[in-house]
Amino acid sequence: MAVFKAYRVVLIILIIGSCVDPFKVPDLERAPKLVVDGLITTDPGPHKVKLTSSFSLNELQGYPVTGAAISILDDLGNVVFLNDIGGGEYQVTPVSWQAQLGRSYRLRIVLADGRQYESVEQLIYEAGSIDSLYFAYARNAINAGDLANEKDAFLTYANTSGSAELPNLFRWRWRGTYEIFTRPELTQAAIPGCCLVPAPLPCSGFNTDLVPVNPCTCCTCWVTEFSRQALVSENEYTNASQFKGVEIAKIPVDGLRFYNKYYIEVEQLSLDESSYTFWKLVNAQQSGATNIFQPNVIRMRGNVRNVTDSQELVLGVVSFASVTRASMFIYQDDIEGNKPSLPIIVADCRDYNETSTTEPPPFW
């Protein structure tokens, strides 16, 4: 099947972060592949690039590549270096450095064994504007493949603009933040040969008689989730500078996300053609695989090349981009009909997931 031929664009590495069994494909070759993952923007840093290496299409995680020398070069001859901070991650120094509109940049990588790679030189265009965000309530909009367990959702949309003189090759990302409430005082402990007895977590503020004696410090947390679908502008089907009614996200309506309110922030990234082409291919792969598996990350051949061996397959992408943002709140009162019940979670709210924090975000 042509889609799985070696040294073609659509070679895929899948990282699947759920209980779904990995989608298996035949291994084509055992030579390690360098995977580059980087986004450098016009925002103040820190900016990071991640390098991993993978031997197999069926590996769920890549191996960190350490000891590389990485630098950013611009069209004026300036060079900025990245420090190896461990785990295959490299951070731009100084931390506050940011890319500039109208400048061209490329990434240079020299591995510990001397192999040298460079990205395509990329000109940074203006990111345009997000003119408005809005939402619509949709019944049974999400079923996760199970029609018996459909969920209502808020469909969120954006109207955005670019500039008539520019390519306007956009990628959209979003992050959502919501407040959760847990019940750590309901934790129990087993007495051997007997029963379960109350064992409230110390942070709950309750004693073993289930009497509150101190404020709870782990009952309320804020959780952040991120877009998993690559979303890019369809320039061939719209006015090249106006994008109306772009569907950004489906936010499930449940008692956890809408215990209080939901905050969504949308980013519009202006890409060069090499990065745009990469993310458009990712979008096509994700759309085609929606009913088979749900990938967190899909990486394929992008815009980084071995300087001396053009035949080496290098996966992933590094993007230099400008960015603009817009945000809005969706409130519990926006739910149509009965409000979902708050689930009882017997835990320290900080343990809900890796993004959970008791520190309220500044916009809350």
User: Mind listing the pLDDT tens digit for each residue in 43-92?
Assistant: 999 999 999 997 654 454 678 999 999 999 999 999 999 999 999 999 99
The answer as to whether 180 is a domain residue is: no
Q: How many CB atoms lie within 10 A of CB 26?
A: 8
HSE (side-chain half, CA atoms, 13 Å) at 4:
10
Q: What are phi and psi of 88, to 5 degrees?
A: 85, 5
The answer as to whether 170 is a domain residue is: no
HSE (side-chain half, CA atoms, 13 Å) at 201:
18
C-alpha distances (whole Å) from 347 to each of 107, 161, 258, 260 are 44, 44, 19, 19
What is the greatest pairwise CA distance in the chain?
77
The answer as to whether 70 is a domain residue is: yes
pLDDT at 146 over 60: yes
**Mean pLDDT, rounded, for 86-102:** 95
**Mean pLDDT, rounded, for 118-132:** 97
Question: Residue 309, class by beta-carbon neighbours within 10 Å (0-12 exposed, 13-18 middle, 19+ buried)?
Answer: exposed
* CB 97, CB 105: distance < 8 Å: no
- Residue 167 CA to residue 177 CA, distance in Å, equals 32
Q: What are phi and psi of 66, to 5 degrees?
A: -115, 170
**Mean pLDDT, rounded, for 106-122:** 97
Range of the domain at 288: 2-125+273-322
Residue 237: band (very low, low, confident or very high) from pLDDT cuts 50, 70, 90: low
pLDDT at 137 over 80: yes
Q: How many CB atoms lie within 10 A of CB 178?
A: 22
Question: What does the DSSP assignment read for 70-82?
Answer: EEEEETTS-EEEE
Name the pTM for this structure. 0.83
Long-range contacts of 79-86 (CB under 8 A, 24+ apart): 82/48, 82/49, 85/48
The answer as to whether 301 is a domain residue is: yes
The answer as to whether 317 is a domain residue is: yes
Per the omega criterion (within 30 degrees of 0), is the bond before 46 cis? yes
* Torsion (CA) 128, 134, 140, 142 in degrees, nearest 10: 30
pLDDT > 90: percent of the chain: 73
DSSP state of 130: E
What's the domain count of the chain? 1
Per the omega criterion (within 30 degrees of 0), is the bond before 94 cis? yes
**AA identity, residue 51:** L
pLDDT at 20 over 80: no
The answer as to whether 79 is a domain residue is: yes
- Residue 197 CA to residue 189 CA, distance in Å, equals 5
The answer as to whether 157 is a domain residue is: no
Residues contacting residue 160 through CB under 8 Å, at least 6 positions apart:
128, 129, 130, 131, 170, 172, 242, 243, 246, 268
Mapping DSSP to helix (H, G, I), strand (E, B) and coil, where does residue 56 land?
Answer: coil
The answer as to whether 215 is a domain residue is: no
pLDDT at 25 over 90: no
**Mean pLDDT, rounded, for 313-332:** 96
Nearest to 352, CA basis, from 262, 222, 264, 263: 222
What integer pLDDT is reported at residue 142 of this predicted model?
A: 85
